[in-house]
Structure 1
Amino acid sequence: MKLLNRSLLYLSFAFLLIIGIWSVLFYVNLKDEIRDSIDDGLDNNRLLILQKVTTDSTLLFQDDFGGNNFVIHPVLKQKAFTLKDIYKDTLMFRLNEDDLEPVRILHTAFEHENKYYRLKIISSLVEEDDLIEESFWNVFWLFIVLITSIIIVNNVILRKIWHPFYDILNHLITYRLDTDEVTFKIATKTKEFIQLQEASTALIKHSKETYVAQKQFTENASHELQTPIAIIIAKLELLLESENLVEKDANTIAAVIRISDRLKNLNKTLLLLTKIENRQFIEQKIIHLNEKVIEIQSNFQEFADFKNIIISCQEKADVKVVMNISLFEILLSNLLKNAIFHNVNDGEIAVQITPKEFIICNTGKELDFDAKTIFNRFVKNQANSQSTGLGLAVCHSICKLYTIDLSYEFIKNQHCFKINFENIRVNS
């Protein structure tokens, strides 16, 4: 949810709570004031009726409301003393409305010429209830108007205020370290946005310097380290061809050559990992997955034949992805090479291509380490001393670079690796 919409949501809930509490208090207070006003009117009518009774005794025989708003009934003295001024809300049939209507009634008693009478006076509540209902709807529409106003202000005025923030955010999202741009300028007078812009520029500048330094180191290391190792291997190979070399020394030199060759591969792989993590593989293109799998499979067919491994490929979909071609080939090659080298003689490799996934499973012994660490650097089976333990780490780094999921499972004596290409898949 965007920041503006989240602010709107919080404001709406705040207004709903505040207006809701205020409406309840307003309703209770308004109702109390209306009842007090009606009660004062009823009390005033009581005094007027008592005055009229002294001059017009016929009022004492008003035993039904009829067209009047009061009734008088004689009561015993003891009963009269028990009556107090009581105000109640009730319903009464009204001829003009032809229905039961709410009324406020006063129960009281009085004495006239040594006789006691019970007096009931009524006052209609219809208009007052209508007033309360009208007040409720006024509050309701007030809330609607406030929310509508907030939405308008939020999307017109506040959006303009936050425009520099979104400009900075979009710039950071689209920024690439391989570009020459270091600073950017956003037009704003807001202090916080100016500080954010300065902090972002400083961070970009620092990241750019670090990126350039790492890139230079990688390029230099690639040349400075690979060349001496290649020279060492070449000289050892020449020494191995010497006629005066005894067998023991020849075996020692051959072992050193193997170690040097492994060091060469280890150096190349570590440099590759550094390049991947520094995002130095920029160029991307559309790659036909099915064709690449067949091509890479043919490259490793001799290694598979040497161990009598049968490779089968099941194509359930024709898949195209957008990736750097070099990284894509390294990813598939490492997985297939891993499936061959860690397989058993007369084993099997099953490749499956689905609309979303590339799956490769191979027979082999169960891991002698925790499967959760299989993509960590230098993690390998203890029995395989020739492995650098970096092949799967490179695969994981490539998948992480393109935010695609790489997973591992050991199912039915088979090691299975799955790559979900959904994020970079080209829709047909």
Structure 2
Amino acid sequence: MKLLNYTTAYFAGILLLVILVWAGLFYINMLDEIYDSMDDGLGNQKMLVMQKAARDSSVFERRNFEDGYYRLKEISFAQARNRNDVYQDTLMYVLNEQDYEPFRMLTTVFRHQDRFYELRVITSMVEEDDLIEDLFYALFWLYLGLIASILVLNNFLLKRIWRPFYKLLQRLQNFRLEDSSQFIPVPTTISEFQLLNNTVEKLLQKNISTYNSQKNFIENAAHELQTPLAISLNKLELLAESENLKDEQLTQIGAVIQNLERLTRLNKSLLLLSKIENKQFGPEAEVNLNELIGKIVADFSDQVTFRDLTVRVAEKEICWQKLNPDLAEILFINLVKNAIVHNKPEGFIEIIIQKDSVIIQNSGKPVPLDQDKLFTRFHKGSDAPGSTGLGLAIAKAIADLYQFRLTYEYPQMHQLTVKFK
């Protein structure tokens, strides 16, 4: 949910709660005012009736409400004693409505010529059901109007105010460490956004500096290691060609050469892995994976023949993917090599190429591998002497770089699947 919609939802909920509470308080206060106003009117009518009764004796003949707003009834002194004015709600039948309607009634007692009379005065009052209904519709339309106003405010005024923030987010999304020139601070006059701009710029500059330092260190370290390793290997090979060496010495020199060669491969693999993770490879292009995998299988034909393996490539569809050609080759070299190295004699490899995936299946030990460790660095699924434990880690890094899904399954055989977007 976007920030503006999120705040709108909160405003709508809070506003609904406020209106409900306000409506309840308003209804109670409004009823109180209505009752006060009607009671004052009834009190005034009582005084008018009493004054009229003092002048006109025909008033005492009013025994019911059919033709007026009051009625009189003579009572005894005992009934009149200690009587106070009583205001109450009542229902009376109204001819034009053909129904009982609510009325407010005042019951009081007064004395006239040593005789006591009970006076009842009525006035029509608002029906509470109608009042609640009218109040509900009034508040409902008020609420809709306020929500519409908030939406208009968010989409015109607040969106314009927050525009620098969204521009900053867009530039951060497009920012790449390997291309630091892309980030440009967003001009704004709002203090908080200026502070955010400055903070983000300082943070990115620090990350760029750290990235460049790490990049230079890796390149320099890899370069500096390659030279002494190559020199050591050359000297050991020359030493091994000497005629005065014993068999035991030749064996030891061979072991050292193997370790140095493994260290050379390890150095190259770590450098490659670092470059992949730091996105230091060149432009992308459309790569025909059918042709690429066919070439890789042909290149590994000697190893396949030596291990007496059967390789089958099932090209069900033509698969084109956009990525760096060198990384595409490294990805599938590692996957095919993994299927060869971790196979059994007279085993098989099957590669299934579809439009949106490549599946590599191979025989091997009849037990599933540990999926949690399979793609981690230096994890070895077998005791292959030349393995660095980085092949599948490099393949996973390339897949993650292009948002491909590299997964392992063991339905009846070992299966690695590269699922494209």
Same fold (TM over 0.5): yes
**1:165 Cα offset (Å):** 1.9
Alignment partner of 1:49 is 2:49: yes
Q: In 2 relative to 1, CA 308–76 (structure 1 residues): closer, same or farther, beyond 3 Å?
A: farther
**1:235 Cα offset (Å):** 3.4
1:179 match: 179
- In 2, the alpha carbon distance for the partners of 1:112 and 1:320 equals 112
- In 1, the alpha carbon distance for the partners of 2:153 and 2:316 equals 53
Match of 2:153, as an amino acid?
V
Alignment partner of 1:158 is 2:158: yes
- In 2, the alpha carbon distance for the partners of 1:70 and 1:349 equals 108
Query: TM-score, normalization: structure 1?
Result: 0.84
- In 2, the alpha carbon distance for the partners of 1:112 and 1:305 equals 133
- The DSSP-based 3-state class of the residue aligned with 2:122 is strand
Identify unmatched segments of 5+ residues in structure 1.
423-428
Alignment partner of 1:40 is 2:40: yes
- In 1, the alpha carbon distance for the partners of 2:304 and 2:125 equals 97
- In 1, the alpha carbon distance for the partners of 2:362 and 2:245 equals 43
1:403 match: 403
1:258-306 Cα distance to aligned partner (Å, 9 max, x none): 2122111101100001111211014111223344333333333443343
- The DSSP-based 3-state class of the residue aligned with 1:25 is helix
1:234-257 Cα distance to aligned partner (Å, 9 max, x none): 333343334444332322222222
Match of 1:227, as an amino acid?
T
Q: In 2 relative to 1, CA 128–342 (structure 1 residues): closer, same or farther, beyond 3 Å?
A: closer
2:383 match: 383
Is the Cα contact below 8 Å between 2:368 and 2:414 reproduced in 1? no
- In 2, the alpha carbon distance for the partners of 1:110 and 1:290 equals 112
1:425 match: none
- In 2, the alpha carbon distance for the partners of 1:82 and 1:351 equals 108
2:308 match: 308
**1:56 Cα offset (Å):** 4.4
1:416 match: 415
Identify unmatched segments of 5+ residues in structure 2.
none
Match of 2:197, as an amino acid?
Q
- The DSSP-based 3-state class of the residue aligned with 2:372 is helix
2:278 match: 278
- The DSSP-based 3-state class of the residue aligned with 1:403 is coil
- The DSSP-based 3-state class of the residue aligned with 1:181 is helix
- In 1, the alpha carbon distance for the partners of 2:41 and 2:314 equals 94
Is the Cα contact below 8 Å between 1:34 and 1:128 reproduced in 2? no
Identity over aligned pairs, percent: 43
2:336 match: 336
Is the Cα contact below 8 Å between 1:366 and 1:410 reproduced in 2? no
Query: TM-score, normalization: structure 2?
Result: 0.85
- In 2, the alpha carbon distance for the partners of 1:259 and 1:295 equals 30
2:213 match: 213
1:206-247 Cα distance to aligned partner (Å, 9 max, x none): 222233333333333343322332333333334333444433
TM alignment of 1:213-232, pairs within 5 A: 213-232=213-232
1:357-384 Cα distance to aligned partner (Å, 9 max, x none): 4333333226798531222111113633
- In 1, the alpha carbon distance for the partners of 2:82 and 2:310 equals 109
